[in-house]
Amino acid sequence: MKTFRNIQSLACILLASAIIFFYPKNAIAASKGKYAGEFLSIGIGGRALGLGGAYTALAGDVTAGYWNPAGLSSLVYPQISLMHDERFAGIVNYDYAAAAYPFDAVTTFAISVIRLGVDNIPNTQNAGIDANGNPLPLDQWQNLAGFDPNKITYFNAADWGFIFSYANQYSKRFSYGANLKLIYRSLDKVSATGVGFDVGGRYEAADNFYLGAVLQDATTTLVAWSNGTNELIIPALKLGAVYFIDAFDGKFAPVFDVDMRFENRRSASMLHLGGMSFDFREGLEFEYKKLASLRLGYSDIGTFNVGAGVRLPKLALDYSFARFSSDEQLGDTHRISLTFTFEADRYKRVSE
């Protein structure tokens, strides 16, 4: 117990330090950024993405640190997870890694890292030449005839998210959790930092019927750029439900999520009422004898997803596929994730 109190004290110190370091003094001048934190909304994990991202109530493994921190309380063994995703014919790289550790019978800690990046972007601003091969001033682009390859430079555009999660199983049916999110964004020589918080809950309303809720960016997340521009990510509410049905030596799991945002997205969302928007996700999973799974899903951006998974004693392999556009040049998206379970220390949960 003393060790646990020391860890809690250390967590409070780190939390306070993060707030002081990342929160700029000109926060009041920040403006609402409708898509400022969109890279954190893409989704992770082959299982969840195969279900269209309808995972708020279903999340119960290490990836719950991203989807709903309350779901981490279901872990009885330490886990790590990895995922790599390439989009738009490999132009955009999206990577994820996470680790979770059940500290005791009711408490779990986790850390997740996300990176979305476009690497080696050519900068031709100072490489223009005219028809005679002479350097072209920036105000004479109408005379552009080509580029001098020796003057082309390259830079990266990357978004990083670091998520520190805590979960507690309050009772047999109810769990809660919280995230501390640190954001770092870079675009050539300009960068931004931010800090935000999520809170979540998971409740077994009836046998085999679970409800989940997450309030993302609960205190409003500030993203401050080095050029003086500030953006605010305002709170969003995610609600989800899942019901397990035993059949055919396996288990069906229909899932449903709704994302409620208050950014005035209007026609960019599936449904809107004034400044409030609603986006829906649906999915269906069939798991056969806890060995193999098939999944279908429909995401909030209007894509149909399919997926499959294989469960081994210490390794889970999950795959999902999505087609984002009818334009073949953009390509399809294949997501593969691995989850490793370390069966060392095991804690009996309240529900057992």
pLDDT for the residue 36? 64
Q: Residue 203 burial (CB < 10 Å; 0-12/13-18/19+)?
A: middle
What DSSP line would sit under 141-170, residue for residue?
Answer: GGG--EE-GGG-EEEEEEEEEEEEEEEEE-
The pLDDT score that the predictor gives to residue 175 is 97
Tokens 């990083």 found at: 160
Confidence band for 19, pLDDT divided at 50, 70 and 90: very low
- Residue 330's pLDDT is what? 53
SS3 content of the chain, % helix, strand, coil (to 5): 15, 50, 30
Mean pLDDT score of the chain, rounded to an integer? Answer: 83
Cα 7 to Cα 167: distance, rounded to the nearest angstrom: 14
Task: Indicate the pLDDT class of residue 29, thresholds 50, 70 and 90.
Answer: very low
Q: What are phi and psi of 38, to 5 degrees?
A: -65, -30
pLDDT at 40: 87
Read off the pLDDT of each residue in 157-181 and give the average, rounded to a whole number: 95
Question: Looking at residues 163-186, what average pLDDT do you find?
Answer: 95
Q: How far apart are CA 45 and CA 24, in angstroms?
A: 33
Tokens read off for 322: 């999505």
Mean pLDDT of 254-283: 85
Higher-confidence residue of 56 and 136: namely 56
> Which residue shows structure tokens 């990510």?
233
Strands 128-129 and 107-123: unpaired
Percent above pLDDT 90 for the chain: 50
Write out the H or E segment, with its range, that includes residue 265: none
Exposure string (b/e) for 64-78, b if CB count within 10 Å is 16 or more? bbbbbbbbbbbbbbb
**pLDDT band (50, 70, 90) for residue 269:** confident
C-alpha to C-alpha distance for 193 and 183, rounded to whole angstroms: 5
75-98: average pLDDT? 87
Q: Tell me how far apart the 2 most distant CA atoms of the chain are, in Å.
A: 79
User: Tokens standing for 225?
Assistant: 């750029």
Q: How far apart (Å, rounded) are the C-alpha atoms in residues 151 and 128?
A: 9
pLDDT at residue 3, as a whole number: 45
Of 337, 202, 305, 309, which Cα lies nearest the Cα of 250? 309
Options 2.40.160.60, 2.170.130.10, 2.40.30.10, 2.40.10.10; which CATH number does 2-121+154-341 get?
2.40.160.60
Q: Is the pLDDT reported for residue 328 higher than 60?
A: no
229-234: average pLDDT = 88
pLDDT of residue 304: 87
Q: Is the pLDDT of residue 297 over 50?
A: yes
Burial of 98: CB neighbours in 10 Å, binned 0-12, 13-18, 19+:
buried
Contacts of 41 (CB under 8 A, 6+ apart): none
* For the ranges 150-159, 206-215, 312-321, the one whose mean pLDDT is highest: 206-215
- Name residues whose C-beta falls within 8 Å of residue 229's C-beta, 6 or more positions apart in sequence: none
pTM of this prediction exceeds 0.85: no
Q: How far apart are CA 295 and CA 58, in angstroms?
A: 13
End-to-end CA distance of the chain: 22
**344 or 166, which is more confident?**
166
pLDDT in the model for residue 331: 59
What is the pLDDT, as a whole number, of residue 348?
52
CA angle 303, 177, 14 (to 5 degrees): 110
| pLDDT value for 70 | 97
pLDDT of residue 193: 93
Average pLDDT of the residues in 288-302: 89
The pLDDT value recorded for residue 16 is 37
For the cut 90, the answer to whether the pLDDT of residue 132 exceeds it is: no
70-82 mean pLDDT: 95
Domain spans in the chain, listed from the N-terminal domain onward = 2-121+154-341
d(CA 260, CA 251): 29
Quick check: 68 and 214 in contact, CB under 8 A?
yes
- pLDDT number for residue 317: 96
The answer to whether residue 352 scores a pLDDT higher than 80 is: no
| Tokens found for residue 239 | 């609600």
Distance (Å, rounded) from C-alpha 105 to C-alpha 347?
Answer: 5
